[in-house]
Amino acid sequence: MANHKSAKKRIRRNSKFEAINRDRRSRIRSFIKKVEAAIASGDAQLARAALKDAQPEMHRGVRRGIFHKNTIARKLSRLSARIKSLAA
């Protein structure tokens, strides 16, 4: 248990930001699931639109430090490749 005033404040702040980051991470994952659902339906146009909506959210997660930049780059690359294979 924290004894210093600053350590107690840090615990409060950490719990607050933990909740915020959990919500942000969940939101980004929901966008990714929408893209994957569109890919599964086989509709390339819908999948492209879903990816277009998801991309800024994913990059925002990188900017805010929720995901590592390479993780999002990898996910975007794989989703794009799957969408491209739908059109072919």
Indicate which CATH number applies to the domain containing 34.
Answer: 1.20.58.110
pLDDT of residue 69: 97
Residue range of the domain that includes 19: 11-87
Note whether 46 and 36 are within 8 A (CB): no
**pLDDT the model gives residue 82:** 96
5 belongs to a structural domain: no
The answer to whether residue 6 is domain-embedded is no
User: How many domains does the chain fold into?
Assistant: 1
Q: Please indicate, yes or no, if residue 75 is contained in any of the structural domains.
A: yes
Helix %, strand %, coil % of the chain (to 5):
85, 0, 15
In this predicted model, what pLDDT tens digit does every residue of 7-29 receive, in sequence order? 999 999 999 999 999 999 999 99
CB of 37 within 8 A of CB of 60?
Answer: no
41-63: pLDDT as tens digits: 999 999 999 999 999 999 999 99
Whether 69 is in a domain gets the answer: yes
Q: Give a yes or no: residue 72 inside a domain.
A: yes
